[in-house]
Amino acid sequence: MLVGTPESVRAARAYAREFVAYHLPDLGTDRADTVELVVSELVTNAVRYGAEPGDSVLVGLSRTAARVRVEVQDPVRRRPSLKRVSRERERGRGLFIVDALAERWGVVDRPFGKTVWAEVAR
């Protein structure tokens, strides 16, 4: 569990690196970097749009023989969406990155918030 602040993105990336190194030592650098980037983008979105001051964000990683699943839970029910591309806006590309890198992704509503998940092929 992480505090819903921008500094937590760095901690989430470190957690992803440690998870991959311990559980998937043969994953390969490209796939490991992909998992780390997906974690980073989902946690960034949770911190920016899914957490109020004092809230927490929960990050979970799991694996199967075929994929790595990333789950990020926050306390806000508002669902993320792909925004229209804009050259003027500096934000709003995170889900495009996740959509491009993950096999699939989605959102599960929870009684107090939501979980945004993504699966990266091994």
Q: Give the tens place of pLDDT for each residue, 64-122.
A: 999 999 999 999 988 887 766 656 656 667 899 999 999 999 999 999 999 999 999 98
Q: What is the pLDDT of residue 6?
A: 84
| Amino acid 35: pLDDT | 97
Q: Which CATH class is domain 2-121?
A: alpha beta
Which pLDDT value is given to residue 45? 93
The token pair at 111 is 């009684």
Mean pLDDT of 15-30: 95
Structural contact between residues 45 and 116, judged by C-beta atoms closer than 8 angstroms: yes
Query: Which amino acid appears at position 80 of this protein?
Result: P
Least confident of 6-20, 40-54, 87-101: 87-101
Residue appearing with tokens 């990155």:
97
For the beta sheet containing 113-121, the strands, ordered from the edge strand earlier in sequence to the opposite edge, are 2-3, 56-63, 67-74, 113-121, 104-110
Residue 75 CB neighbour total at 10 angstroms = 18
- Distance, in Å, from the CA atom of 3 to the CA atom of 109, rounded to the nearest integer, reads 20
Residue 37 has pLDDT above 80, yes or no: yes
- pLDDT recorded at residue 84: 67
